[in-house]
Structures are given as structure tokens and as C-alpha cells.
Amino acid sequence: MPQTLMADKAAFDVDKIREDFPILSQTVRGKPLVYLDNAATTQKPRRVIERVRRFDTEEYGTVRRGAYRLCEHATQLFEDSRQKVADFLGAGNKKEIVFTSGTTQAINLVAYSFGRRFVYAGDEIIISNIEHHANTVPWQVLCEERGARLKVIPVNDAGELILEEYEKLLSDRTRLVAVNHVSNALGTVNPVREITEKAHAAGARVLIDGAQSTPHMKVDVREIGCDFYTFSGHKMYAPSGVGGVFGKMELWQEMPPYVTGGDMIMKVTLEKTTYAPPPARFEAGTPAITQVIGLGEAIDYLNGIGMDRISQYEKSLLEYGSRVLGAIDGLRIIGTAHDKAALISFALDVAHPHDVVTLLDQDGIAVRGGHHCAQPTMVRFGVPATSRASMAFYNKPEELDALAESLQKVIKLFS
Ligand code: PLP
């Protein structure tokens, strides 16, 4: 193990952290599980699993609707989670947090609702060339419906947004800029504060897709200055089926509902309905109650470790992994941005990513192979797909050694 990681070990006891995650101690095909698909979804600490179990066993009730004890208690826990999310993201007001099923639904909500209120024929939306489909397709649909135009920020060969080109795309027709904070396909960390400042100077609003940043770094939406910021619980060590979006209250107040029905109304008559104020206006129907409470617990867990410590440790893992994988003949790392999250996309000269990940699985190594829901990114880099090792703070350098060793076997087999 390299010196830096040995030094980090004193500050960050990864073996102890791993004890919090029961799933990590299992073997796969007789080999220790090496879980490196954290950009797809993260594993849950025992504390979250236990909190969810206890809530469902002893405390479960619906939220918002009843006056009895179980309901009042569940509503309190649910709203406590909203406060925890607001604090975690640096939002000033917990009512600026709307829960959804995850980032995909969050972006669809904003595209639909912001779009219907603020986007008209001839207007423009800007995304980048390295977006997840969840931050591409909703804008395409919106533009088609409203007669607006979608413009795309190009990236350089390292996978960094070309900011001079971005500036040229901005105009008084730009209504919204929607980019990710961290690219799930390349790991690029985008300069979201600068992007936001430039968009605001042009009079445009900004949505940041935070699906890949919230689990790995300290986020402060007020410092970034963005108008919307999305997240997914299942990528933040919380249950699946919950996520959400921060939005500035002045915007939420102006926006029409996306999904309609129960819980989002002020008054319904057969002739007319008036809507509840945000966030209820955007949370029709019974929410993912248990999952929201699990998310609150995951945030407590992350805060207990400290997001700055997490990102510092993951940075050292990235450096180590990039060195180890970069030393393999016939392996090309795709995405070499100066500012990068702990994620390594790569292509082997001799084997397709689908074959690579299937063979890695024989060694108990879980790595994703495919286009990562970012087909335009793959086209930009001239590959049909990549293999992607995405790390979390419970990963160890030894696991990256195991990955490198297994990749050498794949190369030998195909050569
Ligand atoms: N945006 C990015 C950058 C992602 O990585 C993902 C998921 O991989 C999404 C959006 C979609 O998130 P979800 O599937 O949780 O809705």
C-alpha cells in the first residue's frame, strides 16, 4: 500500500467503516466481494437498515393526514428528514426541499413545471455533452413541446466542459442551464458555481444534477447559487425510491404542480381546485415514508463521518486507482479531468466492456459496463461503451489491486 494511503489510514479507518456495511463482508463465487459500482447505487450501513426496520416494525404510519399518535410521529420524522436534507445541502429553508422518487423524477418535475411556466417558443435550454439521459431527455421533450431549442456545451478530450463555448451559447433567449455537478460516465467535477454565475448574468436559471456529487462531497446550494439541485437517496447510502430537489422558494411559488391528486391541494370543489403552497404542491399522493426516514438516517451517518473526510479519502483512492489502472498496457482511461470524482471509466483494446465486466464478476468484482445512460458522451469519446469502476469511502486500495490483477487476466485471455 502506498505511503499516502497508509497515512490516510490513521485518519480514516476504512476497515472500521466497512464493519458498518454488512453486505461488504460476503463472498461472491468464493472470492471476497469487491463492490465498485457505487455510481449506480451504494450499499447501506447497518444503521440505516436498522432504522428502516425499526420504523416499519414499531413506528409506521401515514404522514400528514391523521390526528392519531402513529401518524403524528411519522409526520414528525418525515419532516425531520426534510430538515436534514436541507441542512445537508446548505438550503436556507426546509420548504425548499421537494421529495421525489429520485433524480430522474426530480428533473422531470422541474422540466414539466418550470417549463410550462417559463419556457416558450424560441427560448433556449442549455445542457452539456456529458449528461445522464435523465438530464437530457426531459429537456428534449420540453423543447419539442414548447418550440424551444436545446443547446449543448461541448467538452475537451479530458471530459471537461469548454467554458468559452458555454459563454457563447448563453443569450437573452436562454431560460435554463441544466448540467451535472459530477459526470456519472467520466467522473468530471464541473465548476458549477462559475456555470451558475454566468447563467445568472445572462438572466437564465440553473439546475444542477447532484446525483453523483451528494454522496461524495460537501454541497452548499447557497454557495453555488443554483436555482435547483437534485439528489438520489439510493446513491447516498439510503434506500431506493426516494430523492428530491432543492429549489428556490421564489421559483417553487410560481410553478404549477407536476403530479396532481391528494395532498397537493388547498381546496377542491367539483368546479375548481386551488393548490397547496410548496413543497406540498409538488408532493401529490402518499410519499415513500419509510425511505425518506431512511434517507434522514443516512445523512446522519454521513455527517458523523464528515463529507470533507469522505471526499479527501476518496481522492486518495482515485489517485491510487488511476495509477494502478493507468499502468496496465492496453487500458485507456476515458475521462481525465483535472477535477475528478472517484470514478474511473476505461476501455480495453482487446475486449468489449460487457465481456470485461462478466469476467471480473468471476473474481467477485462488481463493475459496470455499458453506456451508463450517457450515450452522447460515448459518441463524443468514440466508444460504444466503457467499463466503470466507481468508488465509495468503504473501498480499499487492495480492492483496486484486485481489479487490476483481474483485468490483467482478461487481457491475457483475449490477447
Ligand atoms: N443523473 C446522474 C448523473 C446519474 O448518475 C443518475 C443515475 O445514475 C441519474 C441522474 C438518475 O438517477 P436516478 O436513477 O436515481 O433517478
Q: How confident is the model at residue 64, as a pLDDT?
A: 87
Q: Which residues pair with 390 in a beta bridge?
A: 37, 343
* Whole-number pLDDT of residue 65: 75
- Whole-number Å distance, alpha carbon 130 to ligand 1 midpoint, is 13
Question: Which amino acid type is present at position 81?
Answer: S
Atom from ligand 1 closest to the CA of residue 103: 16
| CA pair distance 364, 276, nearest whole angstrom | 50
**Coil, strand, or helix at residue 263?**
coil
Indicate the average pLDDT of the chain.
96
Under CATH, what is the fold of the domain 49-304? Aspartate Aminotransferase; domain 2 (3.40.640)
For residue 216, name the pLDDT band (cuts at 50, 70, 90).
Answer: very high
Cα Dmax for the chain:
72
Portions of the chain given CATH number 3.40.640.10: 49-304
- Of the chain, the percentage scoring pLDDT greater than 70 comes to 98
Q: Could you tell me the three cell numbers for 289?
A: 415514508
Give the pLDDT of residue 7: 52
Closest atom of ligand 1 to CA, residue 106: 16
Secondary structure of residue 401 in the 3-state scheme: helix
pLDDT for residue 153: 98
> Measured between alpha carbons, how far is 87 from 81 in angstroms, rounded to an integer?
10
Q: At which residue does the C-alpha cell 479530458 appear?
A: 158
User: Residue 24: what pLDDT?
Assistant: 98
Helices 137-146 and 103-118 pack at an angle, to 10 degrees, of 20
Average pLDDT over residues 261-280: 96
Chain centroid to CA 141: 22
Lowest mean pLDDT among 5-19, 122-136, 395-409: 5-19
CA dist., res. 242 & res. 90, Å (int): 19
Rounded distance from Cα 136 to ligand 1 centre (Å): 11
Determine which residue's CA is closest to atom 12 belonging to ligand 1: 103
pLDDT digits 0-9 by tens, 297-342: 999 999 999 999 999 999 999 999 999 999 999 999 999 999 999 9
- CB atoms < 10 A from the CB of 69, how many? 10
Return residue ranges of the chain for CATH 3.90.1150.10: 3-41+306-414
CA 124 to chain centre: 25
Superfamily of domain 3-41+306-414: Aspartate Aminotransferase, domain 1 (3.90.1150.10)
pLDDT tens, residue by residue, 127-166:
999 999 999 999 999 999 999 999 999 999 999 999 999 9
Assess whether 373 carries a catalytic annotation: yes
Quick one: which H or E segment has residue 97? strand 97-100
Position 385 scores a pLDDT of 97
Q: Which residues of 384-399 are buried (b: 16+ CB within 10 A; e: fewer)?
A: ebbbbbbbbbbbbbeb
Pocket test for ligand 1, best of 232, 234, 368, 386 (most atoms within 8 A of CB): 232
Supply the pLDDT for residue 206. Answer: 99
- State the average pLDDT over residues 199-215: 98
- Tens-digit pLDDT profile for residues 330-358: 999 999 999 999 999 999 999 999 999 99
Instruction: Tell me what percent of the residues of the chain surpass a pLDDT of 90.
Output: 96
- Which of 71, 143, 226, 373 is an active site residue? 373
Whole-number Å distance between alpha carbons of 203 and 170:
9
How many angstroms separate the alpha carbon of residue 59 from the centre of ligand 1?
A: 31
CA 210 – ligand 1 centroid, Å = 8
CA 134 – ligand 1 centroid, Å:
6
Name the CA radius of gyration of the chain, rounded: 22
Residue 284 has pLDDT above 90, yes or no: yes
Query: Which residue, by CA, sits nearest to atom 8 of ligand 1?
Result: 40
Residue 5 has a pLDDT of: 54
Q: Which of 100, 103, 368, 386 to mutate to test the pocket of ligand 1 (most atoms within 8 A of CB)?
A: 103
